[in-house]
């Protein structure tokens, strides 16, 4: 995979390899994906669409599992929403 | 999609891992109209994650080629959330895909078993297969320090993969005793194709410490993983790391089978020699019938595909090979048996349900999964108990006893689409 895609995570540009999923962009930005109901930071656990810990807002759509969405240039990812 | 235009398939296959691909390709050989649905962006499941573009050689390449040349209709990013006799509904982005089927093959694979221990909810504590999946999906791992812990052959496969990708694998912590592990290794290396795989892997693994009788007792860090404490032969040591990849073997994905009314035995879907479940015209192949790995999944998938299209002769030719692999599976099950000490890893305040943040002590006040659910909301978050339910089964021997639609959380509009279709098929009487 080569670095060819740039997405925005909470407004900041993040470069990821072609074919990378959105969870990779969030991890690369060093951010957790969400805050749990008692306030803990959470990030991907299962990597395969089961656990829902990686859910973020993508292009305005909330609660999207970021491990199952392939990054596209200009994609807007927001964590903690 | 307008319900009057609902497409009809002879065979619908849910899950595009090896079992599902083999089932779809085999079913289509006889000219049947076949649909293959998967919730991921690409086919391949977990073991062939990355799809055709990532498979350059070997068995994966040949199956992707056969799938590519077949007339199978493939639906990616299609998460099946509702089943009824002869029809299914899947959410795909903003749309709902509805189709009718005459035969259904469930090839829904497995997930990892995660066991709760203090700190397991910290960012960068992941599944072993989970971390591998993310690295396959673009996560840079070069020079990252990784500790791999849990049980089963998957740990070694992940270690070999991550090291090849540039990670510094500090240790593989296997909870089983050495002897059990060696016995399993010796038996599996006698299987066709497995000896070379094992030899290749041991080259990749050279120099990675393999600690038997070892398991994680706490993950530590401020807001993110910084180190893990492991217990090894009664001694505790702390290892600084960037990722902790934990997997305590696999749990079959049986939610759709359960919803369809298929009988289960000890958590697995009951299937006969022809991969038929107890529900007419519903077949099951791969990990949901018993954790057996790639080769067995391919064989079961082919058999299901042939039988669903009434090609018994072709299916029977695969029975003997399937029996060989099934014998190895029995050994795998023994070698992955979890030791009772792991039940004591979670402390009273350790969270078991990560969706609703329910601690061990709150669960321990109840005597069944149902009671715990009703009183604490455990298992009622978005994962619907896929993570905590399996953990509770190990910790408390509780069974998850029902699966209700939708089998995944979906948008209200998707539910409405199912309702509308049902109303029309009832002559609009609802």
Does a structural domain hold residue B242? yes
pLDDT at B398 exceeding the cut of 80: yes
Does a structural domain hold residue B34? yes
Domain housing B128: 114-248
The dihedrals phi and psi of A53, each to the nearest 5 degrees, come to: -70, -20
Does a structural domain hold residue B426? no
Mean pLDDT of B398-414: 86
For an interface test with A, which of B124, B131, B134, B362 has the most A Cβ atoms less than 10 Å from its Cβ? B134
B186 and B60 together in one domain: no
pLDDT at B318 exceeding the cut of 80: yes
pLDDT at B201 exceeding the cut of 70: no
Task: With CA atoms as reference, report the closest residue to B224 among B119, B349, B351, B128.
Answer: B119
pLDDT at B327 exceeding the cut of 50: yes
Q: Tell me the C-alpha distance between B405 and B32, whole Å.
A: 29
Residue A74 distance to chain B (closest CA, Å) = 17
B233 and B306 together in one domain: no
What is the rounded average pLDDT for all residues in chain B? 91
- Give the helix, strand, coil percentages of chain B, each rounded to 5: 35, 25, 40
Q: Which residues of A touch B114 (CB under 8 A)?
A: 45-46
- What residue in B sits closest to A46 (Cα-Cα)? B130
Q: Which residues of A touch B79 (CB under 8 A)?
A: 49
CA B1: distance to chain centroid?
30
B243 and B135 together in one domain: yes
pLDDT of residue B429: 40
Does a structural domain hold residue B351? yes
Does a structural domain hold residue B412? no
Confidence of residue B6 (pLDDT cuts 50, 70, 90): confident
pLDDT at B426 exceeding the cut of 60: no
pLDDT of residue A71: 97
pLDDT at B243 exceeding the cut of 80: yes
Q: Which residues of B touch A63 (CB under 8 A)?
A: 382, 409
**Which of A32, A49, A55 is opposite residue B40, by nearest beta carbon?**
A49
Task: With CA atoms as reference, report the closest residue to B229 among B196, B221, B142, B237.
Answer: B237
**Tell me: the pLDDT tens digits for A27-49?**
999 999 999 999 999 999 999 99
B50 and B131 together in one domain: no
* Interchain contact, B123 vs A70, CB within 8 Å: no
* Interchain contact, B133 vs A19, CB within 8 Å: no
* Interchain contact, B127 vs A47, CB within 8 Å: yes
Does a structural domain hold residue B260? yes
For an interface test with A, which of B123, B287, B355 has the most A Cβ atoms less than 10 Å from its Cβ? B123
- What residue in A sits closest to B79 (Cα-Cα)? A49
DSSP secondary structure of B212-267: ESEEEEEEE-SSS--EEEEEETTEEEEEE-SEEEEEESEEE--HHHHHHT--EETT
A and B: number of Cβ contacts within 8 A: 114
pLDDT at B182 exceeding the cut of 80: no
B68 and B151 together in one domain: no
Q: Tell me the C-alpha distance between B268 and B229, whole Å.
A: 34
**Collapsed DSSP state (helix, strand, coil) of residue B43:** coil
B269 and B320 together in one domain: yes
* Percent of chain B clearing pLDDT 70 (strictly above): 91
pLDDT of residue B329: 79
Residue B342 distance to chain A (closest CA, Å) = 19
CATH number for position B65: 3.50.50.60
Task: Give kind and range of the element (H or E) at residue A4.
Answer: strand A3-9
pLDDT of residue B422: 73
CA dihedral B361, B367, B373, B375 (to 10 degrees): -70
Q: Among B5-14, B27-36, B48-57, B193-202, which is the least confidently predicted range?
A: B193-202
Number of other residues whose CB lies within 10 A of the CB of residue B136: 20
- Its pTM stands at 0.93
Confidence of residue A2 (pLDDT cuts 50, 70, 90): low
Work out the burial of residue B108: count CB atoms within 10 Å of its CB; fewer than 13 is exposed, 13-18 middle, 19 or more buried: buried
Q: Domain end: B193, B217, B248, which one?
A: B248
- Domain annotation for chain A: domains and CATH numbers: 3-78 (3.10.20.440)
B38 and B103 together in one domain: yes
Distances (CA, A) of B18 to B107, B212, B306: 9, 31, 15
- What residue in A sits closest to B356 (Cα-Cα)? A37
Q: Which residue has the higher pLDDT, B307 or B425?
A: B307
B153 and B235 together in one domain: yes
* Percent of chain A clearing pLDDT 90 (strictly above): 93
Q: Among B105-109, B173-177, B359-363, which is the least confidently predicted range?
A: B173-177
B292 and B244 together in one domain: no
B162 and B94 together in one domain: no
* Interchain contact, B126 vs A44, CB within 8 Å: yes
The secondary structure of residue A70, as a DSSP letter, is: B
Does a structural domain hold residue B167? yes
Confidence of residue B55 (pLDDT cuts 50, 70, 90): confident
* Percent of chain B clearing pLDDT 90 (strictly above): 77
pLDDT of residue A3: 62
pLDDT at B427 exceeding the cut of 60: no
Helix boundaries (H) for B137-281: 153-164, 178-188, 194-205, 255-260
Q: Among B62-76, B255-269, B312-326, B412-426, which is the least confidently predicted range?
A: B412-426
pLDDT at B187 exceeding the cut of 80: no
What is the rounded average pLDDT for all residues in chain A? 95
Q: Tell me the C-alpha distance between A6 and B144, whole Å.
A: 23
Does a structural domain hold residue B173? yes
Task: With CA atoms as reference, report the closest residue to B121 among B409, B387, B314, B403.
Answer: B387
Mean pLDDT of B110-128: 98
Both tokens assigned to B408: 């995944």
Mean pLDDT of B196-212: 73
Q: Which residues of B touch A6 (CB under 8 A)?
A: none
Q: Please measure the distance between the N-terminal and C-terminal CA atoms of chain B and give it in whole angstroms.
A: 20
B105 and B137 together in one domain: no
- Its ipTM equals 0.96
B216 and B176 together in one domain: yes
Both tokens assigned to B398: 């509780």
C-alpha R_g of chain A: 12
Number of other residues whose CB lies within 10 A of the CB of residue B272: 10
- Chain B residues with at least one Cβ partner in A under 8 Å: 39-41, 46, 50, 53, 77, 79, 111-112, 114, 121, 123-127, 129-134, 137-140, 223-224, 253, 351, 354-357, 381-383, 386-387, 409
pLDDT of residue B307: 98
Contact B323, B179 (CB under 8 A): no
Number of folded domains in chain B? Answer: 3
pLDDT at B334 exceeding the cut of 80: no
Mean pLDDT of B266-277: 97
Total residues belonging to chain B: 430
Q: Which residue has the higher pLDDT, B307 or B430?
A: B307
Q: Among B59-73, B108-122, B307-321, B393-407, which is the least confidently predicted range?
A: B393-407
Contact B35, B11 (CB under 8 A): yes
pLDDT of residue B424: 67
């Amino acid at each position: 995979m080569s670095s060819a895609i740039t997405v925005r995570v909470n407004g900041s540009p993040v470069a990821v390899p072609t074919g990378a999923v959105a969870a990779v962009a969030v991890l690369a930005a060093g951010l957790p994906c969400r805050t749990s109901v008692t306030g803990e930071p959470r990030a991907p656990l299962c990597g395969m669409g089961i656990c829902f810990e990686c859910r973020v807002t993508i292009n305005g759509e909330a609660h999207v599992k970021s491990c199952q969405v392939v990054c596209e240039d200009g994609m807007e990812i927001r964590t903690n929403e | 999609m307008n319900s009057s235009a609902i497409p009809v398939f002879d065979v619908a296959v849910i899950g595009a891992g090896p079992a599902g691909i083999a089932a779809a390709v085999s079913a289509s050989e006889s000219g049947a109209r076949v649909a293959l649905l998967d919730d991921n962006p690409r086919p391949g499941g977990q073991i062939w994650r990355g799809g055709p573009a990532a498979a350059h050689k070997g068995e994966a390449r040949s199956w992707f080629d056969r799938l590519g040349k077949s007339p199978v209709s493939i639906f990616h990013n299609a998460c099946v959330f509702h089943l009824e006799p002869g029809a299914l509904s899947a959410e795909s982005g903003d749309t709902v895909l509805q189709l009718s089927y005459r035969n259904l093959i469930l090839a829904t694979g497995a997930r990892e078993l995660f066991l709760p221990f203090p700190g397991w909810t910290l960012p960068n504590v992941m599944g072993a297969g989970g971390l591998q999946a993310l690295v396959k999906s673009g996560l840079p791992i070069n020079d990252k320090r990784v500790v791999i812990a849990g049980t089963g052959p998957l740990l070694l496969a992940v270690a070999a993969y991550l090291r090849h990708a540039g990670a510094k694998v500090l240790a593989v912590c296997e909870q089983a005793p050495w002897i059990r592990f060696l016995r399993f290794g010796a038996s599996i290396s006698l299987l066709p194709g497995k000896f070379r795989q094992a030899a290749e892997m041991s080259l990749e693994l050279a120099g990675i410490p393999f600690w038997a009788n070892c398991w994680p007792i706490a993950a530590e860090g401020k807001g993110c993983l910084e180190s893990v404490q492991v217990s090894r032969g009664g001694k505790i040591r702390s290892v600084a790391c960037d990722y902790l990849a934990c997997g305590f073997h696999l749990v079959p994905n049986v939610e759709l089978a359960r919803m369809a009314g298929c009988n289960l035995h000890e958590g697995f879907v009951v299937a006969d020699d022809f991969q038929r479940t107890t529900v007419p015209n519903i077949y099951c192949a791969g990990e949901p019938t018993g954790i057996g790995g790639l080769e067995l999944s391919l064989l079961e998938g082919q058999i299901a595909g042939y039988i669903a299209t009434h090609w018994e002769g072709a299916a029977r030719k695969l029975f003997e090979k399937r029996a060989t692999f099934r014998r190895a599976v029995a050994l795998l099950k023994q070698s992955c048996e979890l030791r009772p000490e792991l039940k004591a890893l979670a402390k009273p305040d350790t969270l078991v349900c990560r969706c609703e943040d329910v601690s061990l002590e709150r669960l321990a006040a109840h005597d069944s999964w149902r009671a715990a659910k009703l009183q604490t909301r455990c298992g009622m978050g978005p994962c619907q108990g896929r993570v905590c339910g399996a953990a509770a089964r190990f910790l408390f021997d509780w069974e998850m006893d029902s699966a209700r639609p939708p089998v995944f959380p979906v948008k209200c509009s998707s539910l409405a689409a199912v309702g509308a279709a049902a109303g029309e098929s009832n002559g609009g009487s609802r």
